[in-house]
Structure 1
Amino acid sequence: MPLYDTQTIKIYNSLSGEKEVFKPITDGYVGMYVCGPTVYSNVHLGNVRTFMSFDVIFRYLKHIGYKVRYVRNITDAGHLENDADVGEDKITKKARLEQIEPMEVVQRYTVDFHEVLNTFNFLPPSIEPTATGHIIEQIELVKTIIDNGFAYEVNGSVYFDVHKFNSVKEYGKLSKRKLEDLIHNTRALDGQSDKKNPQDFALWKRAEAQHIMRWPSPWGDGFPGWHLECTAMSTKYLGNRFDIHGGGMDLKFPHHECEIAQCEAVTGESPVNYWMHANMLQLNGQRMSKTTGNTVNPHELLSGNNPFFSKAYAPSVIRFFNAQSSYRSVLDLTDEGLKASEKGYNRLMEAINTMDALKAGDTSTFNVTEWREKCYDAMNDDFNSPILIAHLFEGAKLINQIKDNKASLTIKDLDLLRTTIKDFSFDVLGLVNDTKEDSSADKLTGAVEILIEMRNEARKNKDFALSDKIRDELAEAGIQLKDSREGTTFTTN
């Protein structure tokens, strides 16, 4: 019997505003879609926090035996500035400023995204589709929405008719917004827009002469609307109705609201059973912002090269810090918080390092089975990782008591304790044990990886002289670098 048959998960559904018992559409299978990055700049820590939360959710669902199809997209076109229907495409703007091809921008920051997530020990999604790879599907969706009477074409652009849709369905049910309130709070059009109403949103935009990223369509050369892309990719790989759709809280309106409207305009049914939203990450009590300088990127946090933190922190410490807060809570990133998490992480790893050497006793002075169920109960309660960690600390305390001969467990209970702590620490929370004494080979690997990271940074900055110097001097030392689409690896002679 699979483990999920003995566990009852409750998920906070943003659509209902309540915790609901999770029941997948197909027994034993879970379809999950999470909105991925728009790859026009380096991934920021707020994004990492969201993706890390869903990585833990993905890991737990797999741990209890579900076969999970996890789809996380790459937005590489169509996302305009300020999430609007006017203005410049974020990727095109970056390409224009740097005088390179848009797909060079996409490649650079997609590689950065993957490098950062790999550093933090993320599991890769089952499918990682790109918006530009699904233009045909998006055009077909637009055709269907027009045929069903919920969209209109003007001057080569196609807009979703929110008012028409709201006459038969409910626009705003996810974000709990009423259309009449949106109308009241929207400025009047200046007469230059093609929209019938300000609340309407673009499904397909006509490409102006200077717009680089463009595709032919029945309405002329253009590009898809940002909201349409996720609808096309999620439904293609997960079906017209699937289990879980996740993303950051900032995407609830308008992005996810528009996704619901688009799907209902096509099929007449709501596309997702459970909507999940991760809350924002603050830096020292304030919103992260590039304009104010209150921001730090993952590389700066990991290296310690920033004005906010007293030292560098290991990736697993940052994962541990993230897991000490509910994914639905605002998380404040501070030096004090990271220091405390580092102590907690080290405490847990030290217990793990010693538990294999523990000797079993004749009797058990602690109910390990009951404690293990508490660990599962925590994750079953909307993936409550802070409570899980509290239980893991209880297990660590027990390990220290056994080591000091202040408690004992039978061999069966001791094995269960070891397995449970390792499963939840490594398989579910995704931690890596960085506290063990490094061997010479580990130290060499660590040193070479630092040089590879320096070389990658040099290549990003177009400092090819430094990049070549690192490669050549490593080669002289008998270490060969090999570049591939997945990244850089090395071999020794």
Structure 2
Amino acid sequence: MPLYKTQTVKIYNSLSGEKELFNPIHEGNIGMYVCGPTVYSNVHLGNVRTFMSFDVIFRYLLHLGYKVRYVRNITDVGHIVDDVDEGEDKIAKKARLEQLEPMEVVQRYTVDFHEILNEFNFFPPSIEPTATGHIIEQIEIIKKIIDNGIGYEANGSVYFDVVKFNESYHYGQLSGRNIEDMLANTRELDGQSDKRNPQDFALWKKAEPQHIMRWPSPWSDGFPGWHLECTAMSTKYLGNHFDIHGGGMDLKFPHHECEIAQNEACTGQTPVNYWMHANMLTLNGKKMAKSTGNNILPREILTGESPFLSKAFSANVARFFMLQAHYRSILDFSDDAIIAAEKGYNRLMEAMENIKEVNASANSTLDISSWKQLCYDAMNDDFNSPILIAQLFEGVRFINLLKEGSATLTAADLEDLSKTLSAFVNDVLGLGKEKSDESHVEKMEGLVNMLIGMRNEARANKNFALSDQIRDQLLALGIQLKDSKEGTTFIL
């Protein structure tokens, strides 16, 4: 029997502002869509945190035995900076600055995105569609919205009529905004815009002569609006009505609000049951921004090449750090915080090694069953990873008691403790042993052997002070020398 039959999951739904009992549309099957990156620059740490939150959610649902179709898109069309209606296309701007074809920019940063997520031990999504691969689907949705009287063409561009839509539906239901207030607070454009109302948004934009990325359509050579691509790709692979839609908190308005409106205008039904939003990551108490220099890239954590870091940290440690905060909470990154996380991560990994040395007993003095359910309760409560981690450290305490001999477990309970720790640490949180770089290991072994040679030479010359200094300094680094008749060896 799958675990989801015995576990009750609650999800905080941004649409209702409450935790709701999770009931998938089709029993045992889940459709989940998450807005992916716009690939015009290196993926930033805030993006990694958002995608990590949904990676853990994906992992936990799989652990419960659900069949999950997880769709996460790649935005490679190139959209306007800040809004789709004005300004310069992000990908085209990067292509112009670096004298590249737009799709070279897309390829470079898509590869970077995949490399970083692989480094941080993400599961790949079930489907990773691209916006450029779904232009036809986007055009067909626009046609339906026009046919339903909520889209209109103006000078080769097509806009979504928010006021007309609001006569039958509710624009602002996700963000809690009122259309009348939005219209009243929007600056008049003095007739310079083709829009009927300032709040209308683009479904299709006619390309200016200098615009590189363009496609033919019934209205003009142009490109689709930013909000439209996610509507097209989510419904193509998950249907007009699916379970979960996720993304960063910054996408709630206007992006996700417009997605709902487009779906309802096209199909007449609301597209998603549970809207989930991950919160932002700050750096030393301030918003991350390239413009102010208060910024750190994921790869810089791994190399330590950042003025904000005292040293390099592994991807596992960075992942553990991020999961110590709930996905809906703001998380502040700092050198002190990740150093503390490293100590916690090492304690957890050490305990998982130590449990292998524990022997079973005839009776149990620890309640493993109740502890195990508390681990599930944490994740069942809107995927509360920090509470889960607190429970995992209760498991660490159990292991320490067992190792000291002040507690006992039967073979069955000991196996249950070990399997539960492995399931939540490795499978759900996605943490594991550090990846060893064989070339680095070979270099280190060569260096230690060189120092052993220097020590042997010092001993032959009766320079025992230098000999002892080499031995003691290696020991301080965790490298123990062993002298025997056959020579000197070392233990890491």
Q: Would the TM-score normalized by the shorter structure come out above 0.5? A: yes
Q: Partner residue of 1:162?
A: 162
In structure 2, relative to structure 1, the CA distance for the partners of 1:240 and 1:444 (3 Å cut) is farther
Q: Contact 2:84–2:225 (CA<8 Å) still a contact in 1?
A: no
User: Residue 221 in 1 paired to residue 212 in 2?
Assistant: no
Using the alignment, how far apart are the partners of 1:47 and 1:28 within structure 2?
Answer: 29
The correspondence of residues 24-63 of structure 1 with structure 2, limited to 5 A, is: 24-63=24-63
Using the alignment, how far apart are the partners of 1:119 and 1:446 within structure 2?
Answer: 23
Q: CA deviation at 1:203?
A: 0.3
Output one character per residue of 1:338-374: Cα deviation in whole Å (capped at 9) or x when no partner.
Answer: 0111010000000001111210011101110110000
Using the alignment, how far apart are the partners of 2:380 and 2:387 within structure 1?
Answer: 11
Partner SS state of residue 212, structure 1: coil
Using the alignment, how far apart are the partners of 1:274 and 1:78 within structure 2?
Answer: 28
Q: Which amino acid aligns with 1:248?
A: G
Q: Contact 1:134–1:232 (CA<8 Å) still a contact in 2?
A: yes
User: Residue 443 in 1 paired to residue 466 in 2?
Assistant: no
Q: CA deviation at 1:231?
A: 0.2
RMSD value, Cα: 1.5
Q: Partner residue of 1:482?
A: none
Partner SS state of residue 82, structure 1: coil
Using the alignment, how far apart are the partners of 2:140 and 2:317 within structure 1?
Answer: 46
Using the alignment, how far apart are the partners of 2:400 and 2:142 within structure 1?
Answer: 62
Using the alignment, how far apart are the partners of 1:104 and 1:433 within structure 2?
Answer: 35
Q: Partner residue of 1:93?
A: 93
Q: Partner residue of 1:294?
A: 294
Using the alignment, how far apart are the partners of 1:77 and 1:369 within structure 2?
Answer: 51
TM-score, normalised relative to structure 2? 0.89
Using the alignment, how far apart are the partners of 1:213 and 1:348 within structure 2?
Answer: 49
Q: CA deviation at 1:81?
A: 0.5
Using the alignment, how far apart are the partners of 1:157 and 1:89 within structure 2?
Answer: 16
Using the alignment, how far apart are the partners of 1:441 and 1:103 within structure 2?
Answer: 34
Q: Partner residue of 1:363?
A: 363
Q: Partner residue of 2:256?
A: 256
Q: Contact 1:30–1:67 (CA<8 Å) still a contact in 2?
A: yes
Q: Contact 1:78–1:224 (CA<8 Å) still a contact in 2?
A: no
Output one character per residue of 1:87-144: Cα deviation in whole Å (capped at 9) or x when no partner.
Answer: 1110011111111100000000000000000000000000000000000000000000
Output one character per residue of 1:359-392: Cα deviation in whole Å (capped at 9) or x when no partner.
Answer: 0011101110110000000000000000100010
Which one has the largest radius of gyration?
A: 2
Using the alignment, how far apart are the partners of 1:292 and 1:274 within structure 2?
Answer: 36
Output one character per residue of 1:430-452: Cα deviation in whole Å (capped at 9) or x when no partner.
Answer: 002229xx6968835999xxxxx
In structure 2, relative to structure 1, the CA distance for the partners of 1:26 and 1:351 (3 Å cut) is same
Q: Which amino acid aligns with 1:108?
A: R
Q: Which amino acid aligns with 1:89?
A: D
Q: Partner residue of 1:458?
A: none
Q: Contact 2:150–2:164 (CA<8 Å) still a contact in 1?
A: yes
The correspondence of residues 335-414 of structure 1 with structure 2, limited to 5 A, is: 335-414=335-414
User: Residue 145 in 1 paired to residue 137 in 2?
Assistant: no
Q: Which amino acid aligns with 1:359?
A: N
Using the alignment, how far apart are the partners of 2:373 and 2:141 within structure 1?
Answer: 46
Partner SS state of residue 251, structure 2: helix
- The gaps in structure 1 that reach 5 residues or longer are 448-493
Q: Partner residue of 1:271?
A: 271
Q: Which amino acid aligns with 1:297?
A: L
User: What percentage of residue pairs aligned between the two structures are identical?
Assistant: 70
Q: Contact 1:78–1:225 (CA<8 Å) still a contact in 2?
A: no
Partner SS state of residue 97, structure 1: helix
- The gaps in structure 2 that reach 5 residues or longer are 446-492
Q: Which amino acid aligns with 1:299?
A: R
Using the alignment, how far apart are the partners of 2:148 and 2:341 within structure 1?
Answer: 53
In structure 2, relative to structure 1, the CA distance for the partners of 1:419 and 1:445 (3 Å cut) is farther
Using the alignment, how far apart are the partners of 1:250 and 1:445 within structure 2?
Answer: 45
Using the alignment, how far apart are the partners of 1:441 and 1:394 within structure 2?
Answer: 37
Output one character per residue of 1:258-281: Cα deviation in whole Å (capped at 9) or x when no partner.
Answer: 000000001111100000000000
Using the alignment, how far apart are the partners of 2:46 and 2:305 within structure 1?
Answer: 18
Q: Partner residue of 2:487?
A: none
Using the alignment, how far apart are the partners of 1:172 and 1:383 within structure 2?
Answer: 27
Using the alignment, how far apart are the partners of 1:442 and 1:78 within structure 2?
Answer: 40
Using the alignment, how far apart are the partners of 1:230 and 1:45 within structure 2?
Answer: 22
Q: Partner residue of 1:131?
A: 131
Q: Which amino acid aligns with 2:50?
A: T
Q: Which amino acid aligns with 2:33?
A: Y
Using the alignment, how far apart are the partners of 2:302 and 2:77 within structure 1?
Answer: 30
Q: Contact 1:77–1:89 (CA<8 Å) still a contact in 2?
A: no
Q: Contact 1:172–1:257 (CA<8 Å) still a contact in 2?
A: yes
Q: Partner residue of 2:5?
A: 5
Instruction: Between 438-447 and 393-402, report the one with greater CA deviation.
Output: 438-447
Using the alignment, how far apart are the partners of 1:275 and 1:236 within structure 2?
Answer: 18
In structure 2, relative to structure 1, the CA distance for the partners of 1:48 and 1:444 (3 Å cut) is farther
Using the alignment, how far apart are the partners of 1:367 and 1:400 within structure 2?
Answer: 15
Output one character per residue of 1:30-81: Cα deviation in whole Å (capped at 9) or x when no partner.
Answer: 0000000000000000000000000000000000100000000000014211
Q: Contact 1:320–1:431 (CA<8 Å) still a contact in 2?
A: yes
Q: Which amino acid aligns with 2:368?
A: V
Q: Partner residue of 2:20?
A: 20
Q: Contact 2:38–2:78 (CA<8 Å) still a contact in 1?
A: no
Partner SS state of residue 282, structure 2: strand
The correspondence of residues 182-331 of structure 1 with structure 2, limited to 5 A, is: 182-331=182-331
Q: CA deviation at 1:243?
A: 0.2
Partner SS state of residue 276, structure 1: strand
Using the alignment, how far apart are the partners of 2:354 and 2:164 within structure 1?
Answer: 65
Partner SS state of residue 83, structure 1: coil
Q: CA deviation at 1:175?
A: 0.4
Using the alignment, how far apart are the partners of 1:390 and 1:105 within structure 2?
Answer: 42
Q: Contact 2:81–2:88 (CA<8 Å) still a contact in 1?
A: yes
Output one character per residue of 1:10-30: Cα deviation in whole Å (capped at 9) or x when no partner.
Answer: 000000000000000000000
Q: Which amino acid aligns with 1:112?
A: D
Partner SS state of residue 357, structure 2: coil
Using the alignment, how far apart are the partners of 1:119 and 1:384 within structure 2?
Answer: 24
Q: CA deviation at 1:302?
A: 1.3
Partner SS state of residue 91, structure 2: helix
